[in-house]
Amino acid sequence: MEENRAWEAWGPSRDWSRSQVARTGPRWSLASVLSELPSAATLRYRGPGVLPWGTLDEEGGSEGRSTQAFVEGPQLELLQSLPSRELPWPMQARRAHRKSQATEQVAYGSDSRAAHWTQQFSKTKEKMKQGFQTIQPWAWTLKRIGGQFGAGTESYFSLLRFLLFLNLAASMVNICMKLIPTWLEGAPPGPPDHDIPSPCGPYTPDTKGLVTFPTQLFNLLSGEGYLEWSPLFYGFYPPRSYLATTYLCSVFALGLIYLLLILHRSVSGLKETLLAESGTLTSYSHRVFSAWDFGLRGDVHVRLRQSIIRYELQVELEEAMVRRRAAEQTLGQRARVWLVRVLINLLVCALLGAAFYGIYWATESTVTLQETLLNQQTPLLKLVVNYLPSIFISVFNFVLPFVFKLLAPLEGYTRSHQIIFFLLRTVFLRLASLVFLLISLWNQITCGGNVEAEGCKTCGYNYKELPCWETRLGQEMYKLVLFDLLMGLIVTLLIQFPRKLLCGHCPGALGRALGTLEFQVPDEVLGLVYAQIVVWVGSFFCPLLPLINSAKFLLLFYVKKITLFSTCSPASRTFRASTANFFFPVVLLLGLAISAVPVLYSIFLIPPSKLCGPFRGQLSIWSHIPESIESLPQTTQNFLYFLGTQAFAVPLLLLSSILMVYTVTLANSYGRLISELKLQIKREAQNKVFLAQRALALSSANGVL
């Protein structure tokens, strides 16, 4: 009986009405005034057990008072059909509704069993999701970093963990589809014999094992010598039909895995960004009244949560201050700001142009410098010349972002917009530098795109300088990954730690100023994105590069963690974590698209090397796929060929267009509904304030209050 009473909405009791009339007169009362509010109609949607505005709870009168239903019959039936979790009702009414639904489901029989199993499956899925979140590695470390250094710094380590798992997954795919099939048909053969004549020139990688230590170190850092003919690079893999098929299919499988995982992360970050930028969840009232987690236990968790809320409020206050200053500017001040922005952008373009020319010159001059006598006689100089493009790229990527960071505050943007513009310029620098390196290598491989040139006429590529151009391209990406790791370790161990130790002994404000280091999240995150893009470009030509990058990211996580807690202080100017959660995965998607261009170009257009790799002897790398399809049964061939015809492509395009139009229309309708609800909430809030003030004035006039 008590559960059934919970379904009835409380209404104004007759005894209570008579007592109010006796006290305040027959015409005016606080309850009667508030009940005339337009927003009072929303009470019927608040569920049973909710008292109307102004109703006073009499002692002992709760059990004997008469009630009337605020929810009409059709509305009540509609609400009863919804799950308890979706009902806008108090907790007591939800429990009663849940018990009533369970009782009704038992009476329905088989249909209720299906609903029961569906509900159990949803609960199990939710528990598994929570369990997976609890067993994620470094979960407590990320929480501690977020509480002590802000959510922006936490987003860097979260992205690093995501990229580490991404590289581990790619390593497993490469091992299963490239490395293991290599030995399924026996041990792979050695390098090509120098005595066998070939129209595409000799290719004799130096594989002798007994060498001096400087040569050994040089081979390790450059990927030459014994590493050149090893499972690390493309040229090692033999020309076997099954291996060639799995080798090429692994590229497209990895591309699909990368795309799906990054899209999933981008969509989750997009939700946070839209909420943050819309102002719905960034108001101070939300931070003060709704951001606290009352389930926290322990002083450590409480302090971490307090720190996180403090950083979020700091971001809000900083951006509100900048927006207020921008709103108070005069026309002349705005014109001066725009003039400064134009000049800064011209300076940035000039710096980027100089950097790109330097990278192009370094790549073009490497082959010429390697042939000099002095370079052949000096091992150290030979190593520097081999790393010349990597050195130029790393120097520009280290110096120019620092210049961009100094220029960003001069443009007068908010902190979030400063970070976005800084990220765009730095992303363009890193991606374009890699693009210019690839263009220089393409110019060497294809003789500048001139197939009729003397060096490329015989084999379709420059076989004299690059007899195995795939391995050479893999070596360049291998050197970029290693040099990027060495630069990060050098900066950390030889600059940041000594600076902290030396400045710790300096007394006064000078020591504190010089010894204070801040963890620069945009720089660090873009370094991760750049390293991952290099791996995507080079993984086809260097199959074990994702495994090397996994070890690099694992080492980098602990090095950055130690650096953060031992040498860095919380950032004086913070930024939203939503910027990192959405913008950085978008940059990853852009990098994935850019890295796919050279790989697909190599697969479809450049002839493979004639003396190395699993596709030697083919007109193109892709030509092996049609040959493999012809060996399949006729039914399978017809199905695969049908997938490439217009009869399949046109309906697929039409279906995709219909789904896209439906999704856009649904999103627009949801957007209009949300706008109307926001407007309704705003209007009802204004009505409440106005009528509440009127009710207070009338009550004061009648002597009630």
Q: What is the pLDDT of residues 407-438, one digit of tens each?
A: 877 877 766 677 778 878 888 888 888 888 88
Q: Is 60 exceeded by the pLDDT of residue 111?
A: no
Strand partners, 568: 517
Q: Which residue has the tokens 């992303």?
A: 427
CB-based contact 35:17 (threshold 8 Å): no
pLDDT of residue 247: 92
User: What is the rounded average pLDDT of the residues 7-16?
Assistant: 39
**b/e string for 238-268 if b means 16 or more Cβ within 10 A?**
bbbeebbbbbbebbeebbeebeebbeebbee
pLDDT of residue 250: 92
Share of the chain above pLDDT 70, in %: 72
Q: What is the mean pLDDT of the chain?
A: 75
CA distance 250 to 175: 10
Which token pair is 43? 């009470």
pLDDT band at 55 (very low <50, low <70, confident <90, very high): very low
User: What is the rounded average pLDDT of the residues 54-82?
Assistant: 45
**How many CB atoms lie under 10 A from the CB of residue 689?**
10
Q: Is 60 exceeded by the pLDDT of residue 562?
A: yes
60 vs 473 pLDDT, higher one:
473
Residue pLDDT, tens place only, 483-538: 888 888 888 888 777 777 777 666 665 555 555 677 777 778 888 888 999 999 99
Residue pLDDT, tens place only, 667-689: 788 778 878 877 777 777 777 77
Residue pLDDT, tens place only, 208-227: 656 677 777 778 888 888 88
Q: Is 50 exceeded by the pLDDT of residue 694?
A: yes
CA distance 154 to 300: 17
H or E element: which one contains 508? helix 508-515
Q: Which residue has the tokens 């919380």?
A: 570
Query: Which of 160-169, 218-227, 297-306, 507-516 is most confident?
Result: 160-169
Lowest-pLDDT choice from 71-75, 231-235, 551-555, 563-567: 71-75
pLDDT of residue 35: 56
Radius of gyration, alpha carbons of the chain: 34
CA dihedral over 364, 365, 371, 376, signed as positive or negative? negative
Of 248, 136, 242, give the one whose Cα is nearest residue 183: 242
User: What is the rounded average pLDDT of the residues 454-462?
Assistant: 81
pLDDT of residue 167: 94
Residue pLDDT, tens place only, 595-610: 899 899 989 888 888 8
Residue pLDDT, tens place only, 118-137: 777 777 777 776 666 666 77
Q: Is 50 exceeded by the pLDDT of residue 302?
A: yes
User: What is the rounded average pLDDT of the residues 438-459?
Assistant: 81
Residues 6+ positions from 618 with CB-CB distance below 8 Å: 607, 608, 624
User: What is the rounded average pLDDT of the residues 42-53?
Assistant: 46
Q: Are strands 517-518 and 568-569 parallel, antiparallel or unpaired?
A: parallel
Lowest-pLDDT choice from 102-111, 339-348, 363-372: 102-111
pLDDT of residue 459: 83
Q: Is 60 exceeded by the pLDDT of residue 332?
A: yes
CA distance 357 to 26: 89
CB-based contact 541:471 (threshold 8 Å): yes
User: What is the rounded average pLDDT of the residues 191-200?
Assistant: 72
